[in-house]
């Protein structure tokens, strides 16, 4: 099987803390593969997971790397 072109995450922003700062939580919900012959990607979501909100595609980093501090675009 090919390696995924992207990891797929759902982001969720927390409520502001006492200082007004917000945190963004990243949950990996699947992977995406680029098409071989045409522009586009196939997104494969983890079975049984409910997804809503914004999906973010990020190129895979080294194994076990956290998506923290990534732009949420």
**Model confidence pLDDT, tens digit, residues 22-64:** 888 899 999 999 998 899 999 999 999 988 888 999 998 866 5
Q: Has residue 71 been placed in a domain?
A: no
Round to whole Å and give the CA distance between 55 and 10: 5
DSSP 51: -
In a domain, 11, yes or no: yes
- Which has more pLDDT, 55 or 66? 55
Domain holding 1, by residue range, is 1-30
Tell me the C-alpha distance between 71 and 73, whole Å: 5
Assess whether pLDDT exceeds 60 at residue 65. no
Structural domain includes residue 45: no
Residue 16 falls within a domain, yes or no?
yes
Judge whether 64 lies within some domain: no
Q: How many domains does the chain have?
A: 1
Do the domain assignments include residue 52?
A: no
What pLDDT was estimated at residue 72?
Answer: 44
Query: Is 8 among the domain residues?
Result: yes
8 Å CB contact between 59 and 4:
no
């Amino acid at each position: 099987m090919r390696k995924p072109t992207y990891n797929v995450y759902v982001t969720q922003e927390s409520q502001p803390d006492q200082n007004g700062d917000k945190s963004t939580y990243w949950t990996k919900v699947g992977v995406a593969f680029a098409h071989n012959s045409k522009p586009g990607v196939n997104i494969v979501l983890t079975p049984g997971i409910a997804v809503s909100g914004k999906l973010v595609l990020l190129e895979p980093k080294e194994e076990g790397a956290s998506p923290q501090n990534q732009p949420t675009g």
